[in-house]
Structure 1
């Protein structure tokens, strides 16, 4: 599961409601964004207890990201935040895991990355995505990248841009030669992820199941499917399900949840990009 919890959740009481939403989904792996207050060790320990999960919070310039997991399902092998506080606007939190109880040994760990790409420029976000693709493959090629991607994915229909705030149009749309031209979303972030041979989980299942509802927006104000999960080739055969998680009034983004059967991972497709 991935959830942008919306800045200030610890101050206005929304965090407790989000904990209930998360515990109802009961994910083995949780990707969080906008959790800056969890850099405080005491607050982080309280979050671990509330969620019933282990937790790592990445360093960041602002609005930190985090990864949480069930220790009885996933064994932490390492943490990757090498470029989080220096090269990305909101950073990323990468954790390497050994999944427990599988029928065969893996040649590489499962890499899980929680990120929040810059909302202010699609072009800058595309450069961040290039770095994150490399981190997803870095430890053996069995990786997933999820979080608030903030920009239009490939294949989704154009929203009614006239209903979207001017600052979001300026950040997320292609440049226009004339103000009378229609707005069109800039999809370069999706192109980077596709060119990195990563699969957009919601889009893949929408086509496979002929169910366009899987492409519904996750940003309540921006009207785009900004919250996304992308997986490397070994994980594609393991993909079973995807759905939005409604946080009610507790956040301004829908959460997303994904089901993977890790016994179906194509281990022959694992490869290291050092």
Structure 2
């Protein structure tokens, strides 16, 4: 599950509502964005207790990201936040995890990355995407990137841009030659994920099931499917399901299901 918790949620009771919604989903792996209060160790410990999950919080220049996981299903191996507070606007939290109870032992860990790409520039967000894609492949190639990607995915329909705030149009659309030209979404970030051999989970299932509803918006104000999961080639065959959940935030939560017995270990490899 991935959830943008919305800045300030810890002050007005919305975080408690989200915790209840998360516990109802009962994910083995949880990717969080806009959780700056969890940088406080005491607040992080409280979140661990309420979620019933282990939790790692990444450093950030702006708003922290985090990853939580169930110790009974996933064993922590390492945490990677090397570039989180230097090269990205909001940062990323990347964990290396070993799934427990599988019939085959994996040669490499599962890399799970929670990220929040900058909303202010599609060009800069494309560079951030390049970095997190590299981190997803870096430790063996069984990787997942999820979070608030903030920009248009490939294949989704154009929204009604008149409903989108002007600051989002200016950062998420192509430049117009004249004020009368129509707004068109800039899909640069989606192209970067595609060129990094990443599979967009919702789009993949929308295509295989002929169900465009799986491409529904996740950002309630921005009219786009900004919250996304992208997976490496080794993990793509394990995609089983995807859905949205309403969690009292300005973003829907997104939930993906994977059958880890179907991971293509032949597509995994270590990169230097």
Deviation at 1:273, TM superposition (A): 2.1
The whole-number CA distance in structure 2 between the counterparts of 1:117 and 1:257 is 19
RMSD of the alignment, in Å? 0.5
The answer to whether structure 1 residue 186 and structure 2 residue 179 are counterparts is no
Q: Secondary structure at the match of 1:184?
A: coil
* Structure 2: segments with no counterpart, 5+ residues: none
The whole-number CA distance in structure 1 between the counterparts of 2:38 and 2:131 is 25
Q: Secondary structure at the match of 2:24?
A: helix
Q: Which residue of 1 aligns with 2:175?
A: 175
Q: Which residue of 2 aligns with 1:109?
A: 109
Q: Which residue of 1 aligns with 2:138?
A: 138
4+ residue segments displaced more than 6 Å? none
| 1:262 aligns with one of 254, 260, 263 | 260
Deviation at 1:158, TM superposition (A): 0.2
Q: Which residue of 2 aligns with 1:252?
A: 250
Q: Which residue of 1 aligns with 2:24?
A: 24
The whole-number CA distance in structure 2 between the counterparts of 1:43 and 1:186 is 38
For residues 144-223 of structure 1, what are the structure 2 equivalents within 5 Å? Answer: 144-223=144-223
For residues 73-152 of structure 1, what are the structure 2 equivalents within 5 Å? Answer: 73-152=73-152
The whole-number CA distance in structure 1 between the counterparts of 2:220 and 2:227 is 11
Deviation digits for residues 17-47 of structure 1 (CA, Å, limit 9, x no counterpart): 0000000000000000000000111100000
Deviation digits for residues 97-132 of structure 1 (CA, Å, limit 9, x no counterpart): 010000101110000000000000000000000011
The whole-number CA distance in structure 2 between the counterparts of 1:271 and 1:174 is 37
The answer to whether structure 1 residue 37 and structure 2 residue 37 are counterparts is yes
The whole-number CA distance in structure 1 between the counterparts of 2:140 and 2:57 is 23
Deviation at 1:62, TM superposition (A): 1.1
The whole-number CA distance in structure 2 between the counterparts of 1:179 and 1:273 is 47
Q: Secondary structure at the match of 2:127?
A: helix
The whole-number CA distance in structure 2 between the counterparts of 1:45 and 1:103 is 33
Deviation at 1:52, TM superposition (A): 0.1
Q: Secondary structure at the match of 1:108?
A: coil
> TM-score scaled to structure 2, two decimals?
0.99
The whole-number CA distance in structure 1 between the counterparts of 2:126 and 2:271 is 20
Give the count of matched residue pairs.
Answer: 272
Deviation at 1:272, TM superposition (A): 1.9
- Asked whether the 8 Å contact 1:152–1:226 carries over to 2, the reply is yes
Q: Secondary structure at the match of 1:16?
A: helix
The whole-number CA distance in structure 2 between the counterparts of 1:236 and 1:94 is 19
Q: Secondary structure at the match of 2:225?
A: coil
Deviation digits for residues 252-273 of structure 1 (CA, Å, limit 9, x no counterpart): 0000000001111000000122
Q: Secondary structure at the match of 1:112?
A: strand
Q: Secondary structure at the match of 2:157?
A: coil
The whole-number CA distance in structure 1 between the counterparts of 2:101 and 2:64 is 31
> TM-score scaled to structure 1, two decimals?
0.99
The whole-number CA distance in structure 1 between the counterparts of 2:62 and 2:271 is 29
* Structure 1: segments with no counterpart, 5+ residues: none
| 2:269 aligns with one of 268, 271, 274 | 271
